[in-house]
Chains A and B, each alone.
Chain A
Amino acid sequence: MIRVMPKPMSLLKPPVPILLLGLGFLGVWRLAIALWIQPATFGESNYQANCIRIESYLSQDPAPKLALIGSSLTGRLLPEYFDPPFRHAVANLGLDGGTPWAGLIVLNRREELPEIVCIETYLLDAEPSANDRALVRQLEEPGIALALADPLFRAEYRPSALLYNQMKRRRDPVIVQEVEDTLPSPPATAWQRPKSFAGRMDRSPPSHTLTPFIVNLRDHGVRVILLDMPKGDTAPPEVSIENRTSDSAAAWAEVWQVERLDLRHVLGHNGWIPHYTDGIHLDSPSARHLVRMLSRYLALQPARTINGAKGH
C-alpha cells in the first residue's frame, strides 16, 4: 500500500480558514444580537421553550416580582400579556411537559425570590416527570452557565427559535373579542384563604414533594398562591380529574396555609368565550384576558398580614 504523507498545516490552507470563518460568523451573530435581534418568546420544541423560560428567569434583571410555576397550561400566560407594573417583572416557569417541582427548583436557583409565586394546581400531586429530571440535570451542566454569561448561547437567540417565532406570530389569531375596561370583581368562591395565618406553619405536614419548597418560600416572606388554571375539555384522562384536583388543592392550601385562586370559571364573565388551541391550552387572546383578570385580582386582594407583619 502506498501512503501519501499529508502536507504540514498552513494558515491559508483548511482547516484554519474554516475555523476563522466560523468564529467570524459567531462574531457577526453576536453583534446582531446586541444591536438588532429581539429575543424569541416561543421555542420550536418543548425543550427549547423550557430553556427560554428558565434562562430568561435566571438572567432577568432586576429579579421578577411575580413568578408563575406549573405546566404548559401556565406556560401560555406570557409575561408580555401583563400590564404594568408586572409586565417586565414577571417570570413564567410554566414548563412544557413539566410539573411544579421542576419550576420550583429553578425558582430557588436565584438568591432573590419573587414577592408572589403562583403555583398551578393541575399537576400538584404528580411525581416529577422524566422531563422534569432532564431539565433539572441540565441546570448542572456548564451550558447553562454559558447561556447566562452571554446571550450568544441562549435559547431565545437560536436562529431556529427566532424563525419559528416570526412564523408563529403571523399565524396567531387577531383578537376579535373586545374586553370591557372594567373587569368584574372576583367572585367570593374564587378565593380560598387559609383559616388562620397565625403562628408558624406546621413544620411536619403530611409528606408532599413540594412541601420543602413551600416552607422555604413562606420562610422568606413570599406570597404563595395555588392557582386553578382553566383547561379545555379534551384533556387526556390523566389530566382531566378536575374535581379530584380541586379537592386536593383545597386540602393542601389548608395544610400549607397558603391562598388559592380558582380561575377556571372566571373567563366566562362579561360574555368572554375562552378558546383552546388544541382543546387543552388557552389560545393567545384567552390567555391575555386571563392574565388581565389575574393581575386585577392580585391588586384587589393584597396578602393578609401574617403575625401582624405586613405581607406583600
Chain B
Amino acid sequence: MLFNTWTFAAFLLPVWLLYYARRRLDWQIGVLVTASFTFYGWGTDPTGFARWKLIPLLAVSCAINGLATRHLLDSRRSPAHRRRVLGAALVANLGILGFFKYAGLFATTLLPASLGAGLIDWVADIPLPVGISFYTFQGISLVVDAYRSGTIPGLVPRETSIPAAREPCPTGRNSIESYGNTSTNANANANADTNPNSRHTGTLFHGRIWFFKCFFPQLVAGPIVKASQFFHQIEAKSIRNIDWNGAVRMLITGFFFKMVVADNLKEATASIAAPHFETLPSGTLLVLLYAFSFQIFADFAGYSLIAQGLGKLFGYELPLNFNRPYLAASLTEFWRRWHLSLSSWLREYLYLPLGGNRKGHKRTYFNLFAVMFLGGLWHGAAWSYAVWGIAHGVGLALERWLGIGRKAELGDWSPMRWLRALITFHVVSFLWLLFQLPQFSQALHYLRCLATNPFGILPQYVFVTLLFGLPIVLHHLWASSEAWRNLHISPKWSDRVEVSSYALMLALVVVMPGSPGEFIYFQF
C-alpha cells in the first residue's frame, strides 16, 4: 500500500480512530500490529504478485526475533546459550534476506544447468518481498542490542521481571522518574495489564516486539529504527499528546516531496532508459542526471518524512533520516546526512565490530571499503549496486587518507565549502546513475553518450528539472536558522514565511501532483 493513494487515506483514518478509541496499551498495540500486517499484505506489486503471500514471511521474521530476544534478555541463560541464540538469529535474519535478495543471482550464475531451466527460472523469479531489507536490519539490531547489553529499556521478559509489589502506579501522565526505568516498572501494581498508565514492560513482551518490527509507517522503507530508539516510547497513548504541529509539517513536506517533486521529475528521468537516452543530446543527459538526483532525494526523504509524521500521529518519534545531504562538502559528510538510519546501522553493527578506526590506517580503509561495498549490495544483487558501494567506499577511504571531512561543517558558508559541496554533489549524482540503470553496461553507455553525443539541451527537460528541482534547492539552503540569520529576517516574518511555505506546499500537492508511482526504495 502506498502512502500517496486514496486507499491509504481510507485505511489510515479508521485505524487512527480505532487506535485512540481505548487508552490501553494492549488494545493500541493490537490495532497497530493488525493494521501493519494489513498494510503490508495489501494489493499487488507491479509484477502482479499478491502481497498477502508475504504476510507469513513477516510473521516468521517477527517470531524468530521475538523468540531470540526473549532468550537474550533472560539473565538466567548462560553466556554460551546466549551466543548460540544470537548466532542462530543472525543466520536466520541474514539467510532470509540473502535468499530473497540474491536467489536470482545465485540461480542464474551458480546453479548447474543440469538442474533444469524450469527450476532455475523459478528460483530466479522469486519476487523480492517489499521492505525485507529494512525490517531484517531492524531485527538484527534488536537481537544484537539484546545480546550486548542484556537489557533493552522498555522491554523486559516476564520471566526476568521482579514480581509485582502491589504499589500504586503513578496516575495521569507518566512521571519523569519512572520513564524508562524497568525495575520501577516491574514493581507496578497487579493490574499492570489493564492500567493504561502501566509501565510494567514485562507484559506484552512479544506484542511490543512485533509492534517494533512491523509498525507500518517505517515497515517497508525505513527509517531503520533501533531498539534503543523505540521501546522506551511504548506506552498507552492519548490523543491529547499528539504533536500536531510536527506531524502536519512533516506530512505536508513529505507528500510535497513525493507527489509534487519526485513524481513530476520521474516523467523526465524516465528518459534515462536504454535505448532512448542514446538519441538525447549531451546537455540534456547532464540535466537528467541532476533531475534524478533531486528525484531520488525527494522520493526517499519524502517517504521518511511521511513515516515520521505518521509516527507522530500515533505518538511515536521515528529518527531523522536526512539532513540536507546535498550540502555535504565531502563523501564523509554526505554519509552523515544521507539515509542516517542506514549509515548509523552500518556503523554500529558492521564498521565498529570490524574494528572501526581502532586497528590502524590500513584496516580502517579496508573497513570503510567493506562496509560501503556491503551497503551497496544491500540495495540489490546487481553489479551496478556493487560498483556504487565500491566507489563510495574508495571515496571514503581516500578522504580519510587525505584528512578530509572529519567534522560536519554546518555553519561554514565559505566559497571553498560551496565549491567542495558542488563537487561532492556531482560525484554523488554521477553515482546515482547506477541506481537508475542497474545494468552496468547501460550505465557505462550513458556516460559514453554524455561525453560523445552532440551538445544540446531540450527545453522541456530543463523546464521540468528547474521547476521541480527548485524546492529541493530551497530546502537545502533555507531550512536552517543560520540561513535566516544571514538574511537578517526577523523571527516574526520568518514565522509567517514558514507558515505560508507549508500552506503553499499543501496547495500544490492538491493541484500539481505527478503521475503516481511506487517509492524508489521499495525495490530494496
Q: How far apart are the CA atoms of A2 and B500 in the complex, in Å?
A: 32
Most chain B CB neighbours (cut-off 10 Å) among A18, A46, A171: A18
A14 contacts the other chain (Cβ, under 8 Å)?
yes
Is B463 interfacial (CB 8 A cutoff)? Answer: yes
Q: Is A300 an interface residue (CB 8 A)?
A: no
Residue in chain A with minimal CB distance to B247: A15
Residue among B241, B249, B268, B507 making CB contact with A25, cutoff 8 Å:
B507
Tell me if B268 and A45 are in contact (CB < 8 A). Answer: yes
CA distance A29 to B502 in the complex (A): 16
Q: How many of B's residues come within 8 Å of A, CB to CB?
A: 39
Interface members, chain A 1-60 (any B CB < 8 Å)? 1-3, 5-6, 8-9, 13-15, 17-22, 24-26, 29, 44-48
A29 to B460, CA, bound (A): 25
A17/B499 in contact, CB under 8 A: yes
The CB with the most chain B CB atoms within 10 A, among A13, A25, A26, A171, is that of A25
Q: Is the pair B499, A14 in contact by a Cβ cutoff of 8 Å?
A: yes
Least CB distance, B513 to chain A, in whole angstroms: 8
Is B240 in contact with A45, judged by CB distance below 8 angstroms?
no
- Is A164 within 8 A of B463, CB to CB? yes
Q: Assess whether B511 is in contact with A153, with CB atoms less than 8 Å apart.
A: yes
Interface hit among B79-87, B104-112, B173-181, B205-213: B173-181
A141 to chain B: closest CB distance in Å? 7
A47, B514: Cβ atoms closer than 8 Å: yes
Would A21 and B511 count as touching, CB distance under 8 A?
no
Residues of A within 8 A of B508 (CB): 159
In the bound complex, how far is the Cα of B256 from the Cα of A310, in angstroms?
Answer: 55
Residue of B nearest to A50 (CB): B515
B486 within 8 A of A: no
Are A159 and B511 neighbours in the complex by a CB distance under 8 Å?
A: yes
Asked if A142 is at the interface (CB within 8 A of a chain B CB), the reply is yes
For the complex, is A134 an interface residue (Cβ under 8 Å from B)? yes
Question: How far apart are the CA atoms of A17 and B511 in the complex, in Å?
Answer: 20
0 or 1 for each of B449-493: is its CB under 8 Å from A? (1 = yes) = 000000000011001100110000000000000000000000000
> A166-179: contact bitstring with B at CB < 8 Å (1 yes, 0 no)?
01000100000000
Cβ–Cβ < 8 Å partners of A153 in chain B: 510-511
- Pick the most buried of A14, A143, A159, A164: most chain B CB atoms within 10 A of its CB: A14
Q: What separation, in Å, do the CA atoms of A57 and B430 have in the docked complex?
A: 42
Q: Which single member of B240, B267, B507, B512 contacts A47 (CB below 8 Å)?
A: B267
For this complex, 20 residue pairs linking A to B, each with C-beta atoms less than 8 Å apart, are: A6-B244, A14-B499, A15-B249, A18-B248, A18-B499, A22-B503, A22-B506, A26-B507, A26-B510, A44-B264, A44-B463, A45-B514, A47-B515, A134-B515, A142-B6, A143-B6, A153-B510, A158-B512, A164-B463, A167-B463
**Interface residue ranges, A against B (CB under 8 Å):** 1-3, 5-6, 8-9, 13-15, 17-22, 24-26, 29, 44-48, 134, 138, 141-143, 152-153, 157-160, 163-164, 167, 171
Q: A14-B499, A138-B515 are in contact. List 19 more A-B contacts (CB 8 A).
A: A1-B232, A2-B176, A3-B179, A6-B245, A14-B502, A18-B499, A25-B504, A26-B511, A29-B507, A47-B514, A143-B6, A152-B510, A153-B511, A159-B511, A160-B467, A163-B463, A164-B460, A164-B463, A167-B463
